[in-house]
């Protein structure tokens, strides 16, 4: 079933300072890079960074926008991940009438998430996935206890 989206932007953006994480032989997503996101897409990295920024409740403006992630190429689940962040933020379904500002908000969370990721990779290096796994388990435990 296809979902109709309202005023979706053409592309998602990240700041020019992060372009090396998304593009080129030294990028985090290059399949031969050996980095944590090797073989993943720009969309995957963006969604992960956005989720990290949101979970930390940190966002910042995107400077020197590099609009290189086509929204039309995103899977529906990726679009809804972005929209769910907006729904949690606005707590109002009517915000879905105009999705463009919601995607801009996601860019702000991703911007900060990329800064957090970069600092973690700099700090933990190749053991960052183990740190991340422990942090995710902690988040799941807290979520579980909040449900019960």
Q: pLDDT (tens digit, 9 = 90+) per residue, 22-35?
A: 988 888 898 888 78
Whole-number Å distance between alpha carbons of 18 and 148: 40
Dihedral (Cα; 6, 10, 16, 22), 10-degree rounding: 100
DSSP 39: T
Tokens of residue 68, six digits: 């290189």
- Chain segment 51-104, per-residue pLDDT in tens: 999 989 999 999 999 888 999 999 999 999 999 998 888 888 887 788 888 999
Report which of 66, 25, 61, 55 is spatially closest to residue 117, judged by C-alpha positions.
Answer: 55
């Amino acid at each position: 079933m296809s979902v109709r989206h309202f005023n979706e932007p053409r592309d998602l953006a990240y700041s020019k300072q992060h372009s090396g994480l998304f593009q080129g032989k030294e990028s985090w997503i290059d399949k031969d890079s050996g980095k944590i996101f090797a073989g993943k897409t720009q969309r995957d990295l963006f969604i992960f960074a956005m989720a990290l920024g949101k979970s930390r409740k940190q966002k910042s403006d995107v400077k020197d926008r590099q609009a290189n992630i086509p929204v039309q190429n995103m899977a529906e689940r990726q679009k809804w991940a972005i929209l769910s962040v907006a729904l949690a933020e606005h707590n109002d379904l009517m915000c879905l009438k105009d999705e463009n500002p919601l995607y801009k908000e996601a860019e702000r969370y991703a911007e900060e998430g990329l800064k957090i990721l970069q600092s973690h990779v700099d700090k933990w290096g190749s053991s960052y996935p183990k740190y991340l796994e422990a942090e995710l388990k902690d988040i799941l435990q807290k979520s579980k206890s909040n449900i019960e």
